[in-house]
């Protein structure tokens, strides 16, 4: 079974792009796999089958990511860029003040 996830990236004061990840979205895979990628890389991908440290396996053609007013978890896991790195924001302990505004 796929572990779906989302990557939320702030693109404006109350604007978050939510990039879909189809499988391997669990933290023990995603956090190391996301480490080399910047928020700009993920935004360019738009819709991802799988994140790997050496490649973003993307849908072709990708669908545009939904834009929401705040990070929103709709699947198993949610990841955001915070204090210069990717964090698992699935739980309630996210520091919204430390999230990078692009």
What pLDDT digit, counting tens, does each position of 56-79 carry?
999 999 999 999 999 999 988 999
Residue 4 and residue 76 in contact, taking contact as beta carbons nearer than 8 Å: yes
pLDDT at 101 over 50: no
Give the pLDDT score at 90: 86
Chain mean position to CA 54: 16
CB 94 within 8 A of CB 86: no
pLDDT range class, residue 100, cuts 50, 70, 90: very low
Q: Which of 20, 13, 99 is nearest to 65 (CA)?
A: 20
- 53, 36 Cβ separation under 8 angstroms: yes
Is the per-residue pLDDT at 98 higher than 70? Answer: no
CA–CA gap between residue 102 and residue 94 (Å, rounded)? 18
Mean pLDDT (the chain) is: 90
59, HSE (Cβ side, Cα atoms, 13 Å): 14
Residue 102 pLDDT class (50, 70, 90 cuts) = very low
Q: pLDDT confidence of 92, banded at 50, 70, 90?
A: low
């Amino acid at each position: 079974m796929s572990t779906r996830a989302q990557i939320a990236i702030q693109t404006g004061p109350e604007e978050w792009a939510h990039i879909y990840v189809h499988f391997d979205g669990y933290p023990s895979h995603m956090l190391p796999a996301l480490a080399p990628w910047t928020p700009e890389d993920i935004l360019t991908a738009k819709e991802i089958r799988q994140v790997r440290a050496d490649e973003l396996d993307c849908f072709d053609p990708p669908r545009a990511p939904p834009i929401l007013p705040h990070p929103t978890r709709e699947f198993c896991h949610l990841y955001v860029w915070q204090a210069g790195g990717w964090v698992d924001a699935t739980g309630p302990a996210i520091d919204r003040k430390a999230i990078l505004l692009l």
